[in-house]
Amino acid sequence: MSADPPAHIPPARDPADRPVPTPVSGDTWLDFAIRAVIPGTIGTILIAIGALGIGWLPLDTALLDNPVVDALRSTTLGAVVSKTALVAGVVLLLQSWLLLGYDVMRGQDRDIKRLWIALAAWCAPLMLCPPLFSRDVYSYFAQGKLMVAGIDPYTRGSSSVPGWFNDGVDPMWAEAPTPYGQFWLLLAKGVAQFTGPHPYSGALMMRLLTVAGVVMLAWAIPKIAFHGGIAPSKALWLGVLNPLVLMHFVAGAHNDALMVGLIAAGFAVTLERLPILGVVLVTLGGSVKPIGLVALPFIGLLWAGASPRWPKIWLRWVYTGLISGAMLAVLAIYTKTGLGWIEAIATPGEVRTWLSPPTAVGMAIGGFVGLFGFDVTDNTVAIARMVGTVATVVILFWLCLRPWGRTPIRAAALALFTLVALGPVVQPWYVLWSLPLFAAAGLNRIELKTALIGTAGFTLFGLVTSSATQDSLVQVSDAVGLVVVAVVIALLLAVSPRERRLVLGEQEDRGIAPDDPPAQARARLLTMRRPDESRL
């Protein structure tokens, strides 16, 4: 099997080693810390404090005996303090990110080493806090315990483990088979074996795995961006320092972080002339969450080069499929779970949310027909979801079979975005499947506006509809949450000129695009084109 590198990829130095333009006057490390690092860190410290009061904790943990934690969780004053700290922290983090983005997008902060330090500082307070915005991490731990007990998680739910409720598992998923891949199950098994019957320790260990995904993103996204002519600092700011990453990949400890990190690392090493390793990494990402396997055809396209003929493309796809298939077969045999993950993929679709366009259309039609006395919502949702699935398949085939005029990285981002936009269920962290790759591939002016407003919207939506506003204060539906988010964003843009200019853009703004002739040349070399097209 040939492992020849993509011929179109020019030699390039690591973006972290590139000379950094002279900073603007007064732009010292201290200035940067005061302007960006410290405010964002204060925000995540407040989030961590709030998590002690309203974050998810298992019933069986010594942390509940801590007097401070007990006061925050068992008194009305404690609940108010916790929720206020969380709301203030998230808003301050969002504000810090937007203000940093204003400087990054205008070239005032171009040193990605500074941005890495900001990311580390923002993440640090969240490393030991209770999980927030979701308790899926306790389901991961329970599934690891299933593996330790020799029970197939693809046929049995978390309730098969004694004490699952005390371990913090959401009853919604107690009977559901796991929708995750076998590589993730092996990691979960290792965590369960290492921590023993201590679910909170298990949750913190799971968070280390998801933060490893964030670290891979922080390493890979600037590399991918540089190869495509995009400023690494802009891609890192939008795709990795994003508040949604801090909220859901770090505080929420969702395993999507590891999936996306492995996919991004796969593209980065393929660009560095290691395509077989790229296939291996993306396959591992798909074996965390099977949805990640969608990126494999685009690794094949990148491996084939910028101007390949179809026989070469098909050959690279065959190589990609053989490597990936062999890995998945080994994992299936080693874990003794076979192909159960294929059937279990549909598990998350049991949830209905207005964030999913097909599901929203189905529920809206069903609700309207229900006014006339007909209960058809189940049918209308099923039909709308089926239409979304068919449209998704068509778009994915089009992206693979008509690759010309875009980079494989952008095509992969479009594929993952399609799976979210037309999928049966959407969660706020699902937008992070594609956003880092979009940031590295570049965005035009309208796309950047959409990404910024979407980030602000999903950040506030995750806050409004999460445990931050449940139980002792107020409960809101998805619909009410969307209205609240719209009002808050409008007020935010009205009172902050710099944020308004960043989000709404200015006349000369071009989005995230190559800034100079060398960058434009690298972008052209990475863009797929027909073999008969001119190379000029």
The answer to whether 165 touches 87, Cβ cutoff 8 Å, is no
The mean-pLDDT minimum among 53-57, 142-146, 509-513 falls in: 509-513
Of 313, 211, 227, the closest CA to residue 270 belongs to 227
Q: Which residue range(s) make up the domain with 265?
A: 15-362+378-526
Cα–Cα–Cα angle for 109, 212, 133, rounded to 5 degrees: 85
pLDDT at 506 over 70: no
Q: Has residue 166 got a pLDDT over 90?
A: no
Residue with tokens 């991918």: 224
* In contact, 232 and 115? CB cutoff 8 Å: no
117 within some domain: yes
Query: Residue type for 412, please?
Result: A
Predicted confidence (pLDDT) per residue in 339-383, tens digit: 777 776 665 556 667 778 888 888 888 887 878 777 787 888 888
Q: Is residue 109 part of a domain?
A: yes
Which of these ranges, 82-86, 306-310, 479-483, has the smallest mean pLDDT? 479-483
Query: Which pLDDT does position 127 carry in this prediction?
Result: 93
Share of the chain above pLDDT 70, in %: 85
In a domain, 373, yes or no: no
Query: Hey, how many other C-beta atoms are within 10 angstroms of the C-beta on 533?
Result: 11
Q: Which residue has the higher pLDDT, 439 or 462?
A: 439
Tell which wins on pLDDT, 503 or 204. Answer: 204
Mean pLDDT of 300-323: 93
**Residue 294 above 90 pLDDT?**
yes
User: 3-state SS string over 238-303?
Assistant: HHCCCHHHHHHHHHCCCCHHHHHHHHHHHHHHHHCCCHHHHHHHHHHHHCCCHHHHHHHHHHHHHH
Residues forming beta bridges with residue 443, ordered by sequence position? 512
More confident call, 486 vs 1: 486
pLDDT at 346: 61
Q: Is residue 502 part of a domain?
A: yes
Residue count of the chain, please give it. 536
At 105 the pLDDT is 86
Low-confidence winner among 293-302, 392-401, 417-426 (lowest mean pLDDT): 417-426
* pLDDT in the model for residue 473: 40
Band the pLDDT of 54: cuts 50, 70, 90. Answer: confident
From first CA to last CA, the distance across the chain in angstroms is 32
**How many structural domains does the chain have?**
1
* pLDDT value for 223: 95
pLDDT at 12: 47
> Does residue 329 fall inside a structural domain?
yes
Mean pLDDT of 92-116: 87
Q: What is the pLDDT of residue 25?
A: 35
Mean pLDDT for the stretch of residues 242-268: 95
Rounded Cα distance, 286 and 387, in Å: 25
| Average pLDDT over every residue of 42-48 | 94
Instruction: Tell me the pLDDT band of 454, cut-offs 50, 70 and 90.
Output: confident
- Please report the pLDDT score of residue 463 as a whole number: 75
Mean pLDDT (the chain, rounded): 84
Query: Is 368 part of a structural domain of the chain?
Result: no
- Please answer whether residues 231 and 512 qualify as being in contact, where contact means their C-beta atoms are separated by less than 8 angstroms: yes
Assess contact for 412 and 385: CB atoms under 8 A: no
The answer to whether 348 and 324 are in contact (CB under 8 A) is no
Q: How far is CA 136 from CA 50, 148, 207, 253, 462, in A?
A: 19, 19, 11, 8, 15
pLDDT of residue 511: 83
What DSSP string describes 463-484? HHTSGGGTTTT----HHHHHHH
Question: What confidence tens digit (pLDDT) does each residue in 462-489 have?
Answer: 777 664 444 434 444 555 555 666 666 6
> CB-hemisphere CA count at 13 Å for 144?
28
Percent of the chain with pLDDT over 90: 43
Q: Does 132 reside within a domain?
A: yes
Greater pLDDT, 461 or 432: 432
Averaged pLDDT, 99-127: 89
Q: Which of 348, 379, 118, 344 is nearest to 233 (CA)?
A: 118
Residue 24 gets which letter from DSSP? P
- pLDDT higher than 50, residue 15: no
Residues 62-74: tens digit of each pLDDT: 888 888 888 888 8
Give domain status of residue 8, yes or no. Answer: no
Cβ(164)–Cβ(158) below 8 Å: yes
pLDDT for the residue numbered 9:
45
pTM value is 0.88
The confidence score (pLDDT) of residue 481 equals: 55
Among positive and negative, which fits the CA dihedral 150, 171, 202, 344?
A: positive
Spatial neighbors of 12 by CB under 8 A, at least 6 apart, are: 226, 227, 522
Average pLDDT value for residue range 160-166: 83
